[in-house]
Structure 1
């Protein structure tokens, strides 16, 4: 699949006009785009995928990666034409109806505030291990307060923090791939394990030791670690050159996924047999670093995972608040959410998002197996719902863009509309397959019930005659 290069001519109308400040620099957006696909799930969750699918997990990652590339291409087409902090929610609002924008916007907000609680708790566990004198709940509070203050200061502060967080993740993954490759080639003296090599891809039961069906099981295990790729399209609305940023991010998503996901997992499954118990016990990356003789691998990975956790928490708060801001502008959330400070920061939207995040953290400590488990399951399939809505939205938005201003169609979905329909079919198949997997069935059912509730609320609001001004109706 070739990458379409686009030359974007910037116009004054490309800058934000909704009260937000164009405070993100090009380097911020570049690193947000790169780091957006590297979540903590890659570092701590890949071991489960390898154990479930063996070396065939590479196919699972490739399939999901291809799906994300296609979805990002569709989203990039719309975001380059109409940059906005509401991104796909604002586009769905216009293309599919107010109910769609309302529903997917609130579901996406819900997803990220739950993620915030998960990441705050994960970060607190690591920090408590380093400084046990401070209780875990206190570390979670400290982390949340610091990143809330960062987001309240200015969008530039968020961008600067995310620039360095993402930079550490990128350097860590790149270093891991290089060191692993050198070990496989025998360049590092005494570091190559006896069991390493390409033979690990077919030994120990074959490339698919659990059969072809394990590829789909692997897909379910890895698909949610890709959530976050779309953040750059929301952040682009607060940059000086949003079209250029979206075009660049869309064009680079292929190599980002290929290098960071496929490259690093390939190193793991060639350095170690897929059924090595240390992959599950210690984590795939720690096990690989141990195997090639890197000292203090566990401590090094703790630092990297903490960075990934803080990055995800930082971006989660930013993303949730901007979605709440967009909903407020469209009359689908309290009007206070749409007001910005002198620095162009939607403070009410940020505080409301972090308040729910704090509440979710409390639920995690008080009722981890009941209330918080429900929140996790109810938000688990939202990623697939979002991607599905993006696909249907793009089918309609293409026509709207062509009718209004064809010159703004600077990023185009490949083989439209055929690849869009193929993507819809694949996402639908994955959702249906979740019903056959006991571990995923509950997640899908709870997520679908919550989605149905939100859609019902949206439809009732429409029937009751909720209205908005023309200014807030468009992205």
Structure 2
């Protein structure tokens, strides 16, 4: 959702010079823009956790395992975990120095250039807003499992109203809701890992069959039965399941004492996420032969039913519903703040910067919700054109945002040191500089290269990356010229 850092936009030398000395934490030009710092450290942690544990874990794992086999799946998740960690430490450093709700969009504007900030902001907003409508539709479809005679649109409408009210009340109401939703998801994954491990080693019975132990890791073609191409294809899916972690930077702008909350979240969140993901994957592979993992049913349901958990399908259906609503809730929040940030930089309509007395960018929230519903409508009336385009942008937007986070951190650190700053004076700094940001960029480029060799994803790559030059051109040909024309003439 940004411009690939490999070819950054031209930047204003004056802005770069001003950026050489970083703003004090919690101060500077972005500090007081009518939003409220009402979130606690626990909210920041759980919101970030909730942003990554979604339907990709509960429903998409079967596809990854069936595609890459045991070893390939584990390798793909480890690589994805490394990319997540490296990106989060870069984002953590930036979010402590500039804890603003615009997050990496505002960071890119300040430390790379306004053209990149404009591009990353709009691509990221477009990618998330496009998915919001689909999440509401998915929630309505899930409810038909229990209420088959109730039209899907009724449930979708109910969830739209509920999440809108949650987001338009206070940032604290959003945070508390996500705290609860994240807790339910973590509890479900933890329960699955615990019970699955007991079944795997024969402590509890699984359909009366002998305990599989480690046999499913070596049978059916061995530990690495798939080709390297299949592993790369699986890695792309895994990387996308980790997207959403960027909410840490966005929420930092409304968190109390971000200098303490952000580093604490960064240090713990990645390892807990990787443990939950890898733990669940190892149990799934251990209990179900990888050649038998189906796409018609969540592998979590298969395991719970085999262990004898009552109402296993209903239980997992409920957890998936929670995951879908959580994604919709987080998407509304992030898109609203990104659009608000863009308006403050005169890169979006001025009305999007208006806030309520409770610090909610209400106009940006309404526009995001309306666009989400519009994207849902496009899946019906323009499924082969506009909808394909929106989904393509959504597919690569996360990787582009990770690259921009890394490039912003690289430029910030260089400017900071060049301006006489001591890295050890930063409240939090990314390790192994400059290896960390460069590795993030290279790994994401590797994802794009893998997509180019995959015929099923090549079109999404072309359409998604095609938005980048369009955004740059629009900024330099329209937005910047309009700003220059409206700027007051300086006296000689």
Regarding TM over 0.5, the answer is yes
What does the per-residue CA deviation read over 1:48-70, in whole Å, with 9 as the maximum and x for residues that have no partner?
11111011211101101101110
Hey, what does 2:33 align to over in structure 1?
18
Hey, what does 2:413 align to over in structure 1?
398
CA shift at 1:247, angstroms?
Answer: 0.6
CA shift at 1:337, angstroms?
Answer: 1.1
**Helix, strand or coil at the partner of 1:129:** coil
Stretch of structure 1 that moved more, 440-449 or 414-423? 414-423
Paired positions, count: 460
Hey, what does 1:140 align to over in structure 2?
156
Hey, what does 1:6 align to over in structure 2?
none
Residues 1:194 and 1:372: Cα distance change in structure 2 (over 3 Å): farther
Stretch of structure 1 that moved more, 116-125 or 128-137? 128-137
**Helix, strand or coil at the partner of 2:127:** helix
Is 1:155 matched with 2:167?
A: no
Is 1:420 matched with 2:419?
A: no
Is 1:429 matched with 2:446?
A: yes
- In structure 1, what is the Cα distance between the partners aligned to 2:208 and 2:444? 40
Stretch of structure 1 that moved more, 329-338 or 357-366? 357-366
Is 1:28 matched with 2:43?
A: yes
Cα contact 2:25–2:97 (8 A) shared by 1 = no
Cα contact 1:24–1:159 (8 A) shared by 2 = yes
Match of residue 280, structure 1, among 295, 301, 309: 295
5+ residue gaps, structure 1: 1-9, 471-475
Cα contact 1:16–1:238 (8 A) shared by 2 = no
Cα contact 1:31–1:163 (8 A) shared by 2 = yes
Cα contact 1:107–1:382 (8 A) shared by 2 = yes
Residues 1:137 and 1:416: Cα distance change in structure 2 (over 3 Å): same
Match of residue 65, structure 2, among 9, 32, 50: 50
Hey, what does 2:128 align to over in structure 1?
112
Hey, what does 1:457 align to over in structure 2?
474
What does the per-residue CA deviation read over 1:380-408, in whole Å, with 9 as the maximum and x for residues that have no partner?
11111111111111111113344386576
- In structure 2, what is the Cα distance between the partners aligned to 1:204 and 1:336? 59
Is 1:95 matched with 2:95?
A: no
CA shift at 1:419, angstroms?
Answer: 2.7
Cα contact 2:76–2:238 (8 A) shared by 1 = yes
Hey, what does 2:305 align to over in structure 1?
290
What does the per-residue CA deviation read over 1:95-138, in whole Å, with 9 as the maximum and x for residues that have no partner?
11100000000111011111212211111110122223321122
Cα contact 1:271–1:288 (8 A) shared by 2 = yes
- In structure 2, what is the Cα distance between the partners aligned to 1:469 and 1:20? 27
- In structure 2, what is the Cα distance between the partners aligned to 1:227 and 1:353? 19
CA shift at 1:143, angstroms?
Answer: 1.1
Hey, what does 1:375 align to over in structure 2?
390
CA shift at 1:195, angstroms?
Answer: 6.3
- TM-score of the superposition, structure 1-length normalised? 0.92
Match of residue 185, structure 1, among 201, 209, 219: 201
- In structure 2, what is the Cα distance between the partners aligned to 1:150 and 1:284? 32
Cα contact 2:25–2:98 (8 A) shared by 1 = no
Hey, what does 2:243 align to over in structure 1?
227
Is 1:265 matched with 2:293?
A: no
CA shift at 1:281, angstroms?
Answer: 2.3
5+ residue gaps, structure 2: 1-23, 488-492
Cα contact 2:201–2:212 (8 A) shared by 1 = no
Cα contact 1:42–1:261 (8 A) shared by 2 = yes
Hey, what does 1:319 align to over in structure 2?
334
- In structure 2, what is the Cα distance between the partners aligned to 1:305 and 1:356? 24
Cα contact 1:54–1:209 (8 A) shared by 2 = yes
Residues 1:469 and 1:61: Cα distance change in structure 2 (over 3 Å): farther
CA shift at 1:81, angstroms?
Answer: 1.1
Match of residue 368, structure 2, among 353, 368, 371: 353
Stretch of structure 1 that moved more, 356-365 or 95-104? 356-365
What does the per-residue CA deviation read over 1:240-265, in whole Å, with 9 as the maximum and x for residues that have no partner?
11122211121113312321211111
Hey, what does 1:74 align to over in structure 2?
90
CA shift at 1:433, angstroms?
Answer: 1.5
CA shift at 1:193, angstroms?
Answer: 4.0
**Helix, strand or coil at the partner of 2:431:** coil
- In structure 1, what is the Cα distance between the partners aligned to 2:420 and 2:365? 34
- In structure 1, what is the Cα distance between the partners aligned to 2:95 and 2:235? 27
Is 1:254 matched with 2:270?
A: yes
**Helix, strand or coil at the partner of 2:52:** coil
CA shift at 1:298, angstroms?
Answer: 1.4
Cα contact 2:26–2:99 (8 A) shared by 1 = no
What does the per-residue CA deviation read over 1:194-252, in whole Å, with 9 as the maximum and x for residues that have no partner?
36221211210111212233211111122211111110211111011112221112111
Stretch of structure 1 that moved more, 456-465 or 142-151? 456-465
- In structure 1, what is the Cα distance between the partners aligned to 2:410 and 2:38? 32
- In structure 1, what is the Cα distance between the partners aligned to 2:26 and 2:244? 28
Cα contact 1:401–1:409 (8 A) shared by 2 = no
What does the per-residue CA deviation read over 1:268-297, in whole Å, with 9 as the maximum and x for residues that have no partner?
0001100115x3221221122223222322
CA shift at 1:370, angstroms?
Answer: 4.2
Residues 1:393 and 1:196: Cα distance change in structure 2 (over 3 Å): same
Cα contact 2:396–2:461 (8 A) shared by 1 = yes
Hey, what does 1:3 align to over in structure 2?
none
Cα contact 2:340–2:352 (8 A) shared by 1 = yes
Moved over 6 A (4+): none
